[in-house]
Structure 1
Amino acid sequence: MLRTLLWLPGALLVVAVLLDLIVTCIQTGEGRLSRAVHRPLYSLLRRLTRWTGRRALLSWASPVLITGVLTAWTILTWLGWTLIFWSQPGAVIGAESGQPATFVATLYFVGYTLSTLGLGEIIAPQPFWRILTDVAAINGFFLLTFAITFVVPVAQARSERRELALMLHRAGPGAQQLIVNAVHDHERGLQSLTGDLQHLLNRLDAAHLNSPYLHRFHDHDRQDALDLHLPALGEALLIIQGALGGEGPRGLKRALASVDSLSRTFERTQARHPALRAGDVPPPPDLTPLSHAGLVLKPESEFDAFLHTHAAFRTRLHAMARAGEWRWDQVATPRPD
């Protein structure tokens, strides 16, 4: 009696995976099933990183999380269809023996059906189960298609993350060095930190809005680490807007809006991060390097009041750096290697 009811949990598993595929790959956000896979795997990697003291382990987040969610989709779909076919004795039989398939044989049958191999060693004798076999094969095709839809944009976004990080690394590194080098070494001055980066910032912002789990991906090398260089850019833009005299370069507000949006998707993805929960605001920057570089600065009290109004933004930037196991001094004024 209980066996005949196994089709119900099986159907629920199949539908749950399909809904998660649609939400994760097509709609904006992250499906509940994907989130349930990502969070424990990511938490385990972070614990291993702290326990071993090797930040390089975080760079494995990308392959581990992608493999984990693809494996979960495949196993749950496979198990779901197996329960559906196993729930009815005689739903599938051996092609030569004509005997009802065992559970292991049904598992094998579902596996080659989902993979669209169609080996034919086990068959469904009744029309209803033959139709369900076709539906299962179509489901397997959808699973493969959505898996590609999931992986390809992630790979593209990873490339763009590295591109922006490398640009900022070579332009800085560090928030104040970004400003000094832009003023003295770039023909477009501060415009190189606002207008010149706008298109890439917009693409990255859209990618993270569509796939917020990208904030759980980290890179091994400092020059590729967006979780280090994006907070530096955000801090530099705040300094330009709040501490430097004049109206600021064109595109400053749009660049700040893009970095702010990226920090907000980070907050939604890693809301449990201790730095976000504690509201850790980094210390005010020491603007001595800018003063020594000959830049005109506003009064310190005016700049402190400006920073106070942007405390939540700086908290998110601080948490982003902490998530990548970077210290705030590496963001603000890094020492030469």
Structure 2
Amino acid sequence: MLRQLLWIPGTLMVLAVMVDLIVTCLQSGEGRLGRAVHRPLYAALTGAARLTGRRALLSWTAPLLILGTLTAWTLLCWLGWTLIFWSQPGSLLGSESGTPATFAGTLYFVGYTISTLGLGEITAPLPFWRVLTAVASINGFFLLTFAITFVVPIAQARGDRRRLALHLHRAGPGAQALILNAHTDHDRSLLSLTSDLHTMLNDVDAAHLNSPYLHRFHDHDPQDALDLHLPALGEALLILQGSMTGPVPHGLGRTLASIDSMTRTFERTHGPSPVPVPPPPDLTRLRDAGLILKPDADLHAHLHAHADLRRRLHAMAHAGQWRWDEVAELPPTPDAA
């Protein structure tokens, strides 16, 4: 009797996978099933990186989470259809022996059906089960199609992330280095931190809105690490907005809005972080370089008004296991003691 009810959990498994595929690939988000797979795998890998002190382990977040998602979708779909066919004795027969298929035989039949191989070693004798076999095969085709739809945009988005990170790495690295190098070594001066980056930031922001799980992907090399360089850019723009005596660079508000949007998507993906608001920066070296800035008290008041954004920037860097001084400070001068 219990066996005949197994079609219920089997059907729920198949539907859960299909809903998760649609939400993840078509409705710009992260399905509950995918989230349930990502969170423990991500927590385990980041925890191992912290315990061992090997930040290089974080570079495996992308392949681990992608493989985990695809495996979960495939196994649940496979098991779900197996339970559906297994729930009715005699729904499947050996093509030569004519005897009812065992559970292992049913599992094998479903495997080659959803993979669209169609080997024919086990067959469905009744029309109803033949129709379900066709449905399972179509389901397998959709599973493969959606898997490709899931992986390809991730590869494209990771390329955009690395391009933006590399651009900021070469322009900095670090918040104050971004400002100083733009001021002294760029033909568009501080505009290189705003209008020149606006389109690139919009593309990366849109990718993270569509696929928020991208915030769980990390890169090992500093030059590729968006979770290092985006907080640095955000801190640099806040410094400019709160300390410049003249008009701020054109497009600063729009660029900062894109950064704010990405940090909010990050927080929705990771949840609230316990990291504190970082301390105000020391702008002595910027002043020494010739930048005319407002008194520190004005900057501190401005940064206090944007404390939530700065906390999210700190949380993003912390998730990538970067220190705040790597984000915000100028690197030491070559002749520093």
Q: TM-score, length-normalised on structure 2?
A: 0.97
Question: Could you tell me whether the CA contact under 8 Å between 1:81 and 1:136 is conserved in 2?
Answer: yes
Aligned to 1:60: 60
| 8 A contact 1:171–1:182 mirrored in 2 | yes
Residue deviations 1:233-278, cap 9 Å, x none? 0000101111112111111100000000000000001115432xxx
Gaps of 5+ in 1: none
Match of 1:294 among 290, 294, 314: 290
Q: Which residue of structure 2 lines up, in the alignment, with residue 317 of structure 1?
A: 313
Q: 2:61–2:217: 8 Å Cα contact kept in structure 1? A: yes
Whole-angstrom distance in 1 between the partners of 2:272 and 2:258: 23
Percent identity, aligned pairs only?
71
Range moving further from structure 2, 223-232 or 300-309: 300-309
Q: Aligned AA for 1:333?
A: E
Equivalenced residue count is: 333
For residues 1-40 of structure 1, what are the structure 2 equivalents within 5 Å?
1-40=1-40
CA contact (8 A) 1:273 1:323 kept: no
Residue 303 of structure 1 and its aligned partner are, at CA, apart by 1.2
- The whole-number CA distance in structure 2 between the counterparts of 1:309 and 1:185 is 31
Aligned to 1:271: 271
Question: Partners of 2:240 and 2:331 in 1: how far apart?
Answer: 21
1:216 counterpart = 2:219:
no
CA distance in 1, matches of 2:308, 2:205: 19
Aligned equivalent of 2:93 = 93
Query: Take 1:71 and 1:36, find their aligned partners in 2: how far apart are those partners?
Result: 13
Paired position in structure 1 for 2:302:
306
Give the Cα–Cα distance (whole angstroms) in 2 for the partners of residues 291 and 234 of structure 1: 20
Q: Tell me how large the CA RMSD over aligned residues is.
A: 1.0
- Kept in 1, the 8 Å contact 2:171–2:182? The answer is yes
Partner of 1:193: 193
Q: Distance in 2 between matches of 1:272 and 1:261?
A: 15
What residue number does 1:148 align with? 148
Q: Which runs of 5+ in 2 are unaligned?
A: none
Partner of 1:177: 177
The Cα of 1:334 is off from its aligned counterpart by: 4.8
Q: Could you tell me which amino acid in structure 1 is paired with residue 280 of structure 2?
A: P
Instruction: Give the aligned residue type for 1:307.
Output: L
Corresponding residue of 2:78:
78
Q: State the alpha-carbon separation in 1 of the partners of residues 245 and 219 from structure 2.
A: 36
Pair 1:284-2:284 in alignment: no
Alignment of 1:102 with 2:98, yes or no, is no
Maintained 8 Å contact 1:90/1:100 = yes
Secondary structure of the corresponding residue to residue 43 of structure 1: helix
| Aligned mates of 2:272, 2:209 — CA distance in 1 | 19
Secondary structure of 1:97's counterpart equals: coil
Q: Which amino acid aligns with 2:135?
A: V
Corresponding residue for residue 163 of structure 2:
163
| Alignment TM-score, normalising by the size of structure 1 | 0.97
String of CA shifts for 1:2-26, please: whole Å, max 9, x gaps.
0000000000000000000001111
Which range is displaced more, 265-274 or 313-322?
A: 265-274
Q: Which residue of 2 aligns with 1:203?
A: 203
Q: Is 1:262 the counterpart of 2:262 in the alignment?
A: yes
SS at match of 1:190: helix
1:249 aligns to what SS in structure 2?
Answer: coil
Cα contact 1:264–1:316 (8 A) shared by 2: yes
Q: Which amino acid aligns with 1:12?
A: L
